[in-house]
Chain A
Amino acid sequence: MPGDAKALPQAVEVAVVGGGPAGLAAATRLKEHGVASVAVLDREPRAGGIPRHCGHYPFGLREFHRLLRGPDYARRLVARAEDAGVEIYPQTTVTGITPGPRLSLSTPGGAADMTAKKVLLATGVRETSRAARFIGGQRPLGVVSTGALQSLVYLAHKRPFARPVILGSELVSFSAIFTCRHAGIRPVAMVEPGERVTARSFTRALPRLFGVPLHLGTELVTIHGKERVEGVTLRGPGGAEQVLDCDGVIVTGAFTPEATLCRLGHLELDPGSGGPVIDQFGRCSDPDFFAAGNLLRPVETAGWSWHEGVAAGDVLTECLAGRLPAAERHLEIVVDHPAIKLALPQRIALPFSDGALTHLQLRVTRAAGGKLEARDGDTVVWSKTLSVLPERRLLLPLHDVVGKVRGATLSLRFSEVA
Chain B
Amino acid sequence: MPDAPAETFDVTVIGAGVVGCAVARRLTLEGARVQVVEKAVDILDGASKGNSGILHTGFDAPPGSLEQACIAAGYREYLEIRERLNLPLLTCGALVLAWNEEEEARLPALMEQARANGVDDVAALSRAEILALEPNLSPRVRAGFNVPREYVIDPWSAPSVYLQQALDNGAACRRGSEVLGGAFDGETWELETSGGPLRSRAVVNCAGLYGDIVDQRLLGESGFTIRPRKGQFVVFDKAAARLAQSIILPVPTAKTKGVVICRTSFGNLLVGPTAEDQDSRDDASTDGATLQMLRAKGIEMLPALAALPVTATYAGLRPASEHKDYQVKARAEQRYVTVGGIRSTGLSSALGLAREVHRLLVSFGDSYRPPQQVAWPRAGVLTDYAERAWARPDNGGIVCHCELVTRREIEAALDGPLAAQSLSGLKRRTRVTMGRCQGFYCLGALSQITEGRFDSPLAEDDRDAG
Q: Which residues of A contact B (CB under 8 A)?
A: 2, 43-45, 53, 55, 91, 93, 95, 106-111, 126-127, 129-132, 134-139, 141, 144-145, 147-148, 150-160, 182-184, 221-222, 226-228, 256, 258, 260, 263-264, 271
Contacts and interface: CB of A to CB of B under 8 A. Distances in A.
A140 B313 CA distance: 13
A378 to B, nearest CB: 31
A1 B25 CA distance: 42
Interface string B270-297: 0000000000001111111111100100
A228 B456 CA distance: 8
Interface string B281-324: 01111111111100100000000000101111110000000000
Contacts of A258: 437
Given A108-B397, A132-B309, A145 B440 contact: yes
Interface in B385-443: 390-398, 401-402, 404, 423-424, 436-441, 443
B441 A126 contact: yes
Given A111-B391, A228-B456, A183 B283 contact: no
A2 B406 CA distance: 13
A156 B460 CA distance: 10
B239 A110 contact: no
A389 to B, nearest CB: 25
25 contacts: A2-B396, A91-B398, A108-B394, A110-B395, A111-B390, A129-B439, A134-B288, A136-B288, A138-B285, A141-B423, A148-B439, A148-B444, A152-B447, A156-B445, A158-B461, A158-B462, A158-B465, A159-B462, A160-B447, A184-B464, A184-B465, A260-B237, A263-B237, A263-B239, A264-B238
Contact of B440 (A129, A159, A182): A129
Given A148-B444, A154-B466, A134 B313 contact: yes
Given A110-B393, A148-B439, A158 B447 contact: yes
B440 A148 contact: yes
Contacts of A144: 439, 443
Contacts of B396: 2, 108
B439 A156 contact: no
A154 B307 CA distance: 35
Pairs A-B, 3 closest by C-beta atoms: A151-B444, A158-B459, A129-B438
Contacts of A53: 444
B390 A93 contact: yes
Given A108-B394, A137-B285, A264 B239 contact: yes
Contact of A43 (B310, B314, B401, B462): B401
Contacts of B393: 109-110
A184 B439 CA distance: 22
A109 B394 contact: yes
B463 interface: yes
A144 B391 CA distance: 29
B382 to A, nearest CB: 16
B436 A260 contact: yes
Interface size bracket, B side: 35 or more
Given A136-B291, A156-B447, A159-B465, 17 more contacts: A108-B395, A108-B396, A129-B436, A129-B437, A132-B310, A134-B288, A137-B286, A137-B287, A141-B423, A145-B439, A148-B439, A152-B447, A159-B460, A184-B462, A258-B437, A260-B436, A263-B239
Contacts of B465: 153-154, 157-159, 182-184
A228 B458 CA distance: 10
B363 interface: no
- Interface of A (DSSP majority class): mixed
B398 A93 contact: yes
Contacts of B238: 260, 264
Contact of B404 (A93, A132, A151): A93
Contacts of A145: 437-440
B15 to A, nearest CB: 19
A136 B440 CA distance: 19
Given A109-B394, A134-B292, A222 B466 contact: no
B466 A226 contact: no
A137 B314 CA distance: 10
A47 to B, nearest CB: 14
Contacts of B461: 157-159
B401 A93 contact: yes
B282 A131 contact: no
B464 A158 contact: no
A155 B462 contact: no
A160 B459 contact: yes
A145 B439 CA distance: 8
Contacts of A108: 394-397
B448 interface: yes
Most chain-B CB neighbours within 10 Å: which of A55, A156, A228? Answer: A156
Contacts of A222: 285, 287
A145 B444 CA distance: 11
Contacts of B286: 134, 136-137
Given A109-B393, A147-B441, A159-B460, A131 B313 contact: yes
A28 B237 CA distance: 34
Contacts of A271: 307
A129 B239 CA distance: 17
B239 A152 contact: no
A285 B101 CA distance: 44
A83 to B, nearest CB: 26
B288 A43 contact: no
A95 B404 contact: yes
A226 B282 contact: yes
Identify which of B461, B464, B466 gathers the most chain A CB atoms within 10 Å of its CB. B466
Nearest to B454: A141
A393 to B, nearest CB: 24
Contacts of B447: 152, 156, 158, 160
A271 B283 CA distance: 36
A53 B465 CA distance: 13
Contacts of B448: 156, 158
B311 A131 contact: yes
Nearest to A108: B397
A264 B384 CA distance: 13
Specify which of B237, B284, B290, B397 lies most central, judged by the most chain A CB atoms within 10 Å of its CB: B397
B391 A110 contact: yes
Contacts of B401: 43, 93
Contacts of B391: 106, 110-111
A45 B459 contact: no
Nearest to A265: B239
B463 A157 contact: yes
A45 B444 contact: no
Contacts of A127: 440
B387 to A, nearest CB: 8
Contacts of B438: 129-132, 145
Nearest to A146: B440
A158 B444 CA distance: 8
Nearest to B289: A136
Scoring A43, A129, A182, A226 by chain B CB atoms within 10 A of each residue's CB, the highest score goes to A129
Contacts of A126: 437, 440-441
Given A106-B398, A126-B437, A222-B287, A132 B311 contact: yes
